[in-house]
Amino acid sequence: MYVYVVDSFVQNKRFDRDLLHIQARTQDLGITGRFEKITILKNIREIVKDAERKKVETIVAIGNDHTVNAIINNLNDSNIVLGLIPLGPEENSIARKCGIPFGIDACTVLSKRITKKFDLGSVNGKYFFSSLNIPASNNISVHCNDAFFMHLTNPSNLEIVNFTEMNDLSSSQDGYLEAVVDRKENSGWMHWMRRNESAQKTVIPITTMTVKCGHESIPIYSEGAVVVKTPAQIRIEPNKLRFIVGA
Amino acid sequence: MFNKTTMTNKEIETIIGPSVVVEGNFIGHGNVVVDGSVVGMLKTEGSVQIGKDAKIKADVEGTVVIIAGDIRGNVKATERLQLLPTARIHGNVQTPNLAIESGALFHGKSIMEKNAEEEARQQDKNKHAAPRVKLA
């Protein structure tokens, strides 16, 4: 049985036709299910809990990366398979990476049901699928794998990556997160002079990480939104998610 | 910098860049490239490349170790150790295959011995080798 979670932005009139076509297509393909819209009265947590209670096998996000992340953060039953029908022009890196076509064509992918297990990252108990961003700061202290400290000699952005569009899909199935330090880019001629240096990144595979920033509390972003503030415990959760992918 | 011996980007799994200092016991599984600083220990099951601007105060262990930077510590390479012209090592090295290029600085003791696995393989080879035919 399927439950389709329709994100609030998809309830905009411009997606009405897409939704109607998707509903019709799911019936044609024999993957019909309940379409649950996220509203002020019914949030994503209630929809997912209700689906778990009714022993639903597959939850399909109709929306974008934010919709997927919101569902992941409310899933307790690891046997539930997650699918995605991407809609909207922005924030759809997960769909692109997993070979899921946009709109109605994603229904065919769902019906083929090629399921893969993916690692998820967790930060202070909240899950993320793609990456975290920690903005450049002076006092960042990072303790990795309970074995070594990573000190940044100058303020640099720190990114914790499970997968990006640039990497191979297998990078989110390897049991590691990657800590990527990108030197803060200067503008003007100094940046031009140092262009070769700024190309040199640091990439360190990690399984656990503790990020502190002295007595300050700086925000940590995922998909452009603040998820937590430092101090933060970050770890990999191997094979946590079963996700339907394209070919 | 590393000419023929350079690893391709696909093989590199860990890069410690110039803006990073790693302090503690770094234990990796794949290939490691260091252009920054490491204090403590650096050990991996893959190969290690130490860039010319790298500063290492640590014991280093890997299969193939190629050094162009500054190391204060012992180095163990289970397959091959190569010191490039800009390399500076203050410590002992242990490897079955050592190459020191002109200009490299090496203060320490070198122990060159085949590892046990390779020796066993060699002995096995000798056992199974075809018996010599005596000429009449």
Q: Do B25 and A148 touch (CB under 8 A)?
A: yes
Residues 6+ apart with CB under 8 A from B5: B64, B66, B82
Q: Which of A147, A149, A153 sits opposite B19 (nearest CB)?
A: A153
Q: The pTM is what? A: 0.80
Share of chain A above pLDDT 70, in %: 89
Interface of A with B in 113-172 (CB under 8 A): 145, 147-154, 156
Q: Dihedral through CA B35, CA B26, CA B12, CA A183, nearest 10?
A: -50
Q: What share of chain A is helix, strand, coil (3-state, %, to 5)?
A: 25, 40, 35
What integer is the mean pLDDT of A156-162?
87
Q: Is the pLDDT of residue B116 over 80?
A: no
How close A135 gets to chain B, by Cα (Å)?
A: 15
ipTM of the complex: 0.79
How close B26 gets to chain A, by Cα (Å)?
A: 6
Environment class of B132 (CB within 10 Å of its CB; exposed 0-12, middle 13-18, buried 19+): exposed
Q: Is the pLDDT of residue A182 over 80?
A: no
Residue to substitute from B13, B14, B20, B21, interface A, most A β-carbons within 10 A:
B20
Phi, psi of B64 (to 5 degrees): -110, 125
Round to whole Å and give the CA distance between A176 and A181: 16
Strands A2-6 and A58-63: parallel
Residue to substitute from A141, A142, A150, interface B, most B β-carbons within 10 A:
A150
Environment class of A53 (CB within 10 Å of its CB; exposed 0-12, middle 13-18, buried 19+): exposed
Q: Which residue has the tokens 């769902």?
A: A110
What integer is the mean pLDDT of A38-55?
89
